[in-house]
Amino acid sequence: MSRNFTYLANPARVIFGEGTLSQTADELERLGVNRALLLSTEFQGEDAQALSKSLGARSAGVFSEAAMHTPVDVTDRAMRRFEESGADGVVSLGGGSTIGLGKAIALRNDAPQLVIPTTYAGSEMTAIIGQTEGGQKTTQSTPRVLPETVIYDVDLTLGLPEAMTVTSGMNAIAHAVEAIYAENANPVLSLMAEAGISALTDALARLSTGDPRDREARSDALYGAWLCATCLGLGGVALHHKLCHVLGGSFDLPHAETHTVVLPHALTYNMPAIPDAVERLKRATGSENPAAALFDIAKNAGVPTSLRELGMPEDGIERAIQLTLENPYYNPRRLEAAPLETLLHNAWEGRRPE
């Protein structure tokens, strides 16, 4: 088999394990940060305060107003706090919303970022930032926002709510699935994707049907999330991501839940065109039908498996097809209206892929 590819890696220092939060001060020192502004959502404000206390003089205080989709007015307030407090770096403790705020600050002043992720969404490994102003979301990619240091601490994920564990995990899996058959796929990323999907699918099944605080399963899930996040940071996307962007943007559907519902159906659409990727996905999911295996994880966990449950109107399917065909992403199988309609009807009804 002939191989043509370009391999790229993003620079980042990654610390992974249990109890790794205690290395925050050392890692800030290594980064050359003397006073870090700690960022969080309001919900995680107490955790950020506790971390701030443990950092002593190395903390420039806590800003706990991070919000979904990185609103620019929140960033403006955070910038003022950063300057008034004499901070020279940020610590983002939380999920994609908090990490987005840290990136927005770095975009404006190039502050070094130490990120401590507490969900599986994966923003910590990407150079992508989306910001919202006046109801409009704009996304850009620049190495300026890539976090310098990432500390994964399994302990911080033990209490991640069960539904969010599964939908956030499926969101991560979707990045790895499409990296395997993306236009810019490469063998190293495919290895990471396979290992990431394998670790996450196995861990999600254990966490959703067994003990959600099982440390070993949580460790596997976070490890898988890191690998999948790397795929998001370096890989490409295809039909699945296009559909999720169209559905999220046009019908205001929730991000992680939409990924969870669509992934089995987008994969079913593409499977005839990606035989090598299917072999990888069979190994990763331990199933002869990877799309059905992904559907079953969501179904068994009791999270939504249909677009109907997410509030999408059935008569929106035509518009979604139109938008998908108007400005398509690369996809390994040709995009055609009739099979896309079948895909979206199956996703709308929540039918298990055969």
CA distance 111 to 49: 21
DSSP letter at 71?
Answer: B
The contact pattern for ligand NAD, residues 247-276, with x = CB under 6 A and - = no contact, is: --------xx--------------------
Q: For ligand NAD, give the closer residue by CB, 54 or 141.
A: 141
Per rule CB under 6 A, is residue 166 in the interface with ligand NAD? no
- Written as one letter, the residue type at 195 is A
Q: Is 41 in the site for ligand NAD (CB under 6 A)?
A: yes
**The only residue of 61, 89, 96, 112 in contact with ligand NAD, by rule CB under 6 A:** 96
CA dist., res. 116 & res. 93, Å (int): 5
Nearer Cβ to ligand NAD (60/116): 116
Min dist CB 255 to ligand NAD, Å, is 5
Q: State the nearest-atom distance from the C-beta of 354 to ligand NAD, in Å.
A: 31
Which residue of 50, 128, 163, 195 would you call a contact of ligand NAD, by CB under 6 A? 128
Query: Among 2-10, 117-125, 301-309, 344-352, which window interacts with ligand NAD (CB under 6 A)?
Result: 117-125
Q: How near is the Cβ of 219 to ligand NAD at its closest, in Å?
A: 14
Give least dist CB 243 to ligand NAD, A: 16
Stretch that binds ligand NAD, among 11-19, 28-36, 39-47, 290-298 (CB under 6 A): 39-47
**Interface residue with ligand NAD, options 32, 53, 109, 159 (CB under 6 A):** 159
Q: What is the DSSP string of 165-195?
A: HHHHHHHHHHHHHHHHHSTT--HHHHHHHHH
299 burial type by CB count under 10 A (0-12 exposed, 13-18 middle, 19+ buried):
middle
- Report in angstroms how near the CB of residue 159 gets to ligand NAD at its nearest: 5
Provide, rounded to whole angstroms, the least separation between the CB of residue 94 and ligand NAD: 5
- Considering only 33, 114, 160, 244, the residue that binds ligand NAD (CB under 6 A) is 160
100 vs 332 by CB, closer to ligand NAD: 100
Strands 113-117 and 89-94, by their bridges, are parallel
Q: What pairs with residue 71 in β-bridges?
A: 132
C-beta atoms surrounding 66 within 10 Å: 30
**Greatest CA separation found in the chain?**
62
State the Cα–Cα distance between residues 352 and 354, nearest whole angstrom: 6
For residue 119, state whether it binds ligand NAD (rule: CB under 6 A). yes
What 3-state DSSP class applies to 353? coil
Closest residue to ligand NAD in the complex (CB): 96
Rounded CA-CA distance 76/89 in Å is 16
Extended strands (E) in 85-170: 89-94, 113-117, 128-133, 136-141, 149-153
Asked if residue 270 lies in contact with residue 241, where contact means CB atoms within 8 angstroms, the answer is: no
Cα separations (Å) of 7 from 216, 234, 325?
Answer: 32, 9, 30
Round to whole Å and give the CA distance between 201 and 194: 11
Q: Which of 169, 166, 171, 320 is nearest to 255 (CA)?
A: 171
- Binders of ligand NAD among 44-73, rule CB under 6 A? 44, 68-69
Among the residue ranges 84-92, 113-121, 183-191, 342-350, the one whose residues contact ligand NAD (CB under 6 A):
113-121
Question: Is position 118 an interface residue for ligand NAD (rule: CB under 6 A)?
Answer: yes
Stretch of residues binding ligand NAD (CB under 6 A), selected from 120-128, 204-212, 311-319, 330-338: 120-128
Tell me which residues touch ligand NAD (CB under 6 A): 41, 43-44, 68-69, 94-98, 100, 118-119, 121-123, 126, 128-130, 156-157, 159-160, 168, 255-256
